[in-house]
Amino acid sequence: SAVISQKPSRDICQRGTSLTIQCQVDSQVTMMFWYRQQPGQSLTLIATANQGSEATYESGFVIDKFPISRPNLTFSTLTVSNMSPEDSSIYLCSVEGMQGAGGTEAFFGQGTRLTVV
C-alpha cells in the first residue's frame, strides 16, 4: 500500500484568499486524484492529475477555481482559489495501487480540513 502525506492537515482561511494543499506519496504513481468531502457527505472527485499533463476535471469543477500541479510522480498540489464559506470541506488526495491479483485499490491521505470564514 502507498503512504500518502497531506499538508496542512487543517486550516482556517479568510474568504477571498487561496490555500494550496500538498500531497506527497512514498512511491511513484502515474495518476493522483483529488476529492472533496463536504460536511456529512461522501467523497466527490474533483480532478485526476497525471504527471506532465494538465489535470482532468470532473463536471462542476474548473481549473481556475481548483488549479492542480503535478511536477513529478510522487507529488501534487491542489489550490482552492478565491475561497468562500461554501468551500469549507475536507480535501483528500488519493492514489491507486495494483493489488497482487491484478485488481486496483485506492489509498487516501489523511485529508485537509478547510474552514473558510
Partner 1 sequence: GQQLNQSPQSMFIQEGEDVSMNCTSSSIFNTWLWYKQDPGEGPVLLIALYKAGELTSNGRLTAQFGITRKDSFLNISASIPSDVGIYFCAGQLGPYGQNFVFGPGTRLSVLP
Segment interacting with partner 1 (CB under 8 A) among 11-19, 70-78, 80-88, 108-116: 108-116
- The answer to whether 92 contacts partner 1 (rule: CB under 8 A) is yes
Name the nearest CA neighbour of 33 among 25, 41, 18.
Answer: 25
Residues 37-56 binding partner 1 (CB under 8 A) are 41-45, 48
d(C-alpha 114, C-alpha 89), whole Å: 5
d(C-alpha 36, C-alpha 111), whole Å: 9
Name the nearest CA neighbour of 26 among 55, 6, 47.
Answer: 6
- From 19, 80, 109, 116, residue interacting with partner 1 (rule: CB under 8 A): 109
Segment interacting with partner 1 (CB under 8 A) among 14-22, 35-43, 64-72, 81-89: 35-43
CB closer to partner 1 out of 67 and 96: 96
